[in-house]
Amino acid sequence: MGKLFERMYIGNPNKKDLTKKDVAKQSRFSLFFTVLKVRGLNLMWLNLLYSVFLLPTYIVIFLALLQYGTSLNSQNPMGFADVVWYLYLLFPCMLIATPGTLGFTNVLHRWANDEHAWFSDFWTGIKKNWKQGLIVTVINYVVLFFLIYCSYFYYSMAGKNSDNEVLNTVFSMGIYIMYLLVGCIFVYFMVHLYVYPMLVRYKLKIKNIYKYSFILAFRNILGSVVCVIGLAAFLYFCMVVPYMMYVIPVIGIVLPYLAVYVYMGGVFNKNVFIDVKDY
């Protein structure tokens, strides 16, 4: 029995450890299932730990869904003022979630590359990166607030009519401006996929983190688009399917991000040649 638990904890002692070359040769698809098999229970605990930091965000989203629902044709649609109000509420939630995001990213990104990491690395990721993490969070909030605010403004403007033909022309252009801003939001999420992994992984200034994240996002544009659409589809699925929102705190965050970070490991190995932080 003792040997059984020893093998469960440290693996098979007769089997050679994987080298970096072995990991590089292994397909990213098979690596995902390898991490899932080896780290299954730990992934759940990591998800639960991160959910503690996300609890205020869960509450705000739950209240919004409870009040307005998930359908675009809801009888009580979310108006412009409502969107702005919930954006204000999300700012302190994002600040509270920042330490958890740093720790979560540090551990999961290392697991996704088949590297050793334990929950002590969760706290190390917070301690080493909290200053830059807060700066990135403020930048994210300001940019997203501006883009979402403007998108809803032009969307609401598109439905207006006036006796003045010039104003009608301006109102009709609102929908096209809104589409352009939605495209900017999508691009920003593409770039942001790489921001936190690069922040916890490499010693860089904030401007360089965003610069290299932008380069990687467009150098691997197909994968970046698939990752953003996949994460958005998963989130939407959790919101519209009954009781799926309750699955997110247990295992619903870590699985899609594990897939994203496994993919990113290959992207970083091919494109990034900066020394890894020594923790």
Per-range mean pLDDT, top range of 82-86, 151-155, 255-259 = 255-259
Please check whether residue 203 lies inside any domain of the structure: yes
Please check whether residue 277 lies inside any domain of the structure: no
Structural domain for 91, as ranges = 19-271
In this structure, the chain runs to a length of 279
In the predicted model, what is the mean pLDDT of residues 110-133? Answer: 88
Tokens coding 188: 């920003």
| 8 burial type by CB count under 10 A (0-12 exposed, 13-18 middle, 19+ buried) | exposed
Q: Which of 46-50, 65-69, 142-146, 198-202 has the lowest mean pLDDT?
A: 65-69
Q: Which residues contact 253 (CB under 8 A, 6 or more apart)?
A: 47, 50, 51, 54, 104
pLDDT of residue 66: 77
Q: Within a 10 A sphere around the Cβ of 128, how many other Cβ atoms?
A: 18
Q: Within a 10 A sphere around the Cβ of 254, how many other Cβ atoms?
A: 26
Tokens coding 268: 């970083």
Residue pair 46/254 in contact by the 8 Å Cβ criterion:
yes
Q: Which of 123-132, 137-146, 166-175 has the lowest mean pLDDT?
A: 166-175
Tell me which residue has tokens 């440290």: 10
**Mean pLDDT across the chain, nearest whole number?**
81
pLDDT band (50, 70, 90) for residue 22: low
Please check whether residue 279 lies inside any domain of the structure: no
In the predicted model, what is the mean pLDDT of residues 85-98? Answer: 90
Residue-wise pLDDT for 239-274, tens only, equals: 777 777 777 887 888 989 999 998 888 888 887 655
Give the integer Cα–Cα distance in Å for 10 and 245: 34
Please check whether residue 252 lies inside any domain of the structure: yes
Please check whether residue 91 lies inside any domain of the structure: yes
DSSP 18-48: PPHHHHHHS-HHHHHHHHHHHSHHHHHHHHH
Question: Looking at per-residue confidence, does 92 or 168 come out higher?
Answer: 92
Give the integer Cα–Cα distance in Å for 86 and 52: 20
User: Closest Cα partner for 181 from 216, 207, 157, 211?
Assistant: 157
Please check whether residue 13 lies inside any domain of the structure: no
pLDDT of residue 9: 41
Please check whether residue 12 lies inside any domain of the structure: no
Q: Does pLDDT of 112 surpass 90?
A: no
User: Closest Cα partner for 96 from 59, 66, 149?
Assistant: 59
Please check whether residue 5 lies inside any domain of the structure: no
pLDDT of residue 134: 94
Give the integer Cα–Cα distance in Å for 98 and 213: 18
Question: Looking at per-residue confidence, does 35 or 213 come out higher?
Answer: 213
Give the integer Cα–Cα distance in Å for 269 and 263: 10
In the predicted model, what is the mean pLDDT of residues 82-109? Answer: 90
Number of domains in the chain: 1
Residue-wise pLDDT for 35-78, tens only, equals: 888 888 888 999 999 999 999 998 888 888 777 766 544 566 66
Q: Within a 10 A sphere around the Cβ of 240, how many other Cβ atoms?
A: 13
